[in-house]
């Protein structure tokens, strides 16, 4: 009977450690995503360069698709000027070397000299390269 209890304890302990680790990793992805929005608002190009994968695709709610370099160039030039991003919800699902974030938020700013404010549902795909999580794809939809 005692060996069974020991096995149950070890399995439960391992499961709790794994769950805690996943929760910490999920929270890390959410924090990276929120930081990315802060960097877009504050035009922190050097930080954005680090978090965007070189092959990243940024799909906006109107169908406009940008590469990493186009996002960076448009933030610098002012073509795309985020003024505020308020994340209202974010959940993460982890896979080996990949994380899928689904979020909701209120976005406001200026694009091509036109003000916008909209509620968006967005999906972000992060890939793990070495020890870093990089944004590989983002797709937004108007709610």
All structural domains of the chain: 2-142 (3.10.450.50)
pLDDT digits (tens, 9 = 90+) for 22-78: 589 999 999 999 999 999 999 999 999 999 999 999 999 999 999 999 999 999 999
Query: Rounded distance, CA 60 to CA 66, Å?
Result: 8
Q: Which two three-digit tokens encode residue 125?
A: 């795909």
Q: Which residues contact 106 (CB under 8 A, 6 or more apart)?
A: 84, 85, 86, 88, 117, 118, 119, 120
Q: How far apart are CA 10 and CA 4, in angstroms?
A: 10
DSSP state of 62: T
Contact 52, 131 (CB under 8 A): no
The pLDDT score that the predictor gives to residue 136 is 99
pLDDT at 12: 45
pLDDT tens profile 112-140: 889 999 999 999 999 999 999 999 999 99
- How many CA atoms lie within 13 Å of 65's alpha carbon, on the beta-carbon side? 5
């Amino acid at each position: 009977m005692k060996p069974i209890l020991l096995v149950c304890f070890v399995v439960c302990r391992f499961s709790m450690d794994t769950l805690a680790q996943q929760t910490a990793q999920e929270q890390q992805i959410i924090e990276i995503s929120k930081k990315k929005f802060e960097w877009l608002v504050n035009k922190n190009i050097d930080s954005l360069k680090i978090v965007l994968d070189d092959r990243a695709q940024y799909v906006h709610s109107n169908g406009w698709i940008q590469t990493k370099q186009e996002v960076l160039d448009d933030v610098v030039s002012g073509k795309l000027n985020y003024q505020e991003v308020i994340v209202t919800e974010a959940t993460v699902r982890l896979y080996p070397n990949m994380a899928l974030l689904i979020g909701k938020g209120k976005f406001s700013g200026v694009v091509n000299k036109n003000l916008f404010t909209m509620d968006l549902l967005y999906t972000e795909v992060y890939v793990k390269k070495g020890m870093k999580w990089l944004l590989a794809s983002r797709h937004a939809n108007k709610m």
